[in-house]
Amino acid sequence: MESNKTSDIIEIQGFDISPGFIYPLFFLLLFVYLTLLFSNIGVLVLIITEKSLQQPMYILFCNLSVNDLIGNTVLLPQLMAHIISTERFITYNQCVVQAFYSHTFGSASHMILMIGLTVRLSRCRSFIQNAYCDNASLFKLSCEDVSINNIYGLFFTVLLFSCSMGGIAVTYFRIAVICWVKKNKEMRSRALQTCASHLVLYLIMLWSGFLTIILHRFPNYPDLRKIAYILFHVVPANLNPIIYGMQTRSLREKIIQIMQRQVTPT
């Protein structure tokens, strides 16, 4: 087993794409990336510039947009570069940074301990069987016993998803109780519309994130794991501004006002 003097240049497996699909896939990802940049930056600018929206609820929307921007900026530009390039290399330090921000995007609370457990390992490999850097890909570069990393990763996954699903269930139950007690048809309709869209978005993020973590333990499905991870990033980042922007009355009214000012001659 070699020590940490192993080459700092890491090769990333990426996707095996037929030549005819390289540029269509590249431009599809570019369109997705530009769309989420436009929508999330638009929400940020709107909330920052409109004093009436500078309230705690809308500050949370800002945090959500910043998180989406960071998570996808760490992933998509490099992924697009690797799609059109035959050389898919990254330095180990860059890989660590990408893994750090990748897990910040998913869940920041356990990030420092998880990455710390991985960095302590010596490396004997310089090839990542993935299209991006995450914690599981990093500790697979080691020939040491990574049982602690696996146990911690699986334990936190179970804890995270249990708390997440439990919190969502409690929240929706309380909303249902309030709607039932109030017996207001308009309130029920609005709650159903809002909760349904939120629930669809949550389930997409939940299952794509769950598949990404679980499929690291099943090396026979590398492409499915990569696709699940990309969906975990780009789908919520594109839908969040739509759901929170168009279904929140104050934000929706400000967006409509701005659009009307743009199309109405002065």
Q: What are the tens digits of pLDDT across the range 107-153?
A: 644 554 566 677 767 888 888 877 778 777 887 888 888 888 778 77
Q: Which long-range contacts link 184-193 to residues 24+ away (Cβ below 8 Å)?
A: 193/247
Distance of alpha carbon 225 from alpha carbon 220, whole angstroms: 10
Q: Which long-range contacts link 120-127 to residues 24+ away (Cβ below 8 Å)?
A: 121/146, 121/149, 122/1, 122/2, 122/3, 122/4, 122/6, 123/2, 123/4, 123/6, 123/92, 124/1, 124/2, 124/6, 125/6, 126/6, 126/7, 126/9, 126/10, 126/11, 127/10, 127/11, 127/13
Residue in the block written with tokens 């995450």: 134
Measured CA to CA in angstroms, residue 252 lies from 43, 246, 256 at distances of: 10, 5, 6
CB of 125 within 8 A of CB of 42?
Answer: no
Residue 220: both structure tokens together? 């026979």
Distance of alpha carbon 134 from alpha carbon 204, whole angstroms: 20
Distance of alpha carbon 254 from alpha carbon 46, whole angstroms: 8
Q: How many CA atoms lie within 13 A of 232 on its CB side?
A: 21
Rg (CA), the chain: 21
Helix, coil or strand: residue 140: coil
Helix, coil or strand: residue 117: helix
Distance of alpha carbon 219 from alpha carbon 208, whole angstroms: 17
Q: Could you tell me the pTM of the whole model?
A: 0.60
9-263 has which CATH code?
Answer: 1.20.1070.10
**Residue 182: its pLDDT value, please?**
75
**Residue 187: its pLDDT value, please?**
72
Note down pLDDT in tens along the chain; length 266 residues.
444 456 688 888 888 888 888 899 999 999 999 999 998 898 888 888 887 777 766 776 777 788 788 888 888 898 898 888 877 888 888 888 888 777 676 664 455 456 667 776 788 888 887 777 877 788 788 888 888 877 877 777 777 778 777 877 887 787 778 777 777 777 777 777 767 777 777 787 777 777 777 787 777 878 888 888 788 778 877 887 777 766 667 777 777 787 777 776 55
Q: How many CA atoms lie within 13 A of 162 on its CB side?
A: 6
Distance of alpha carbon 20 from alpha carbon 245, whole angstroms: 37
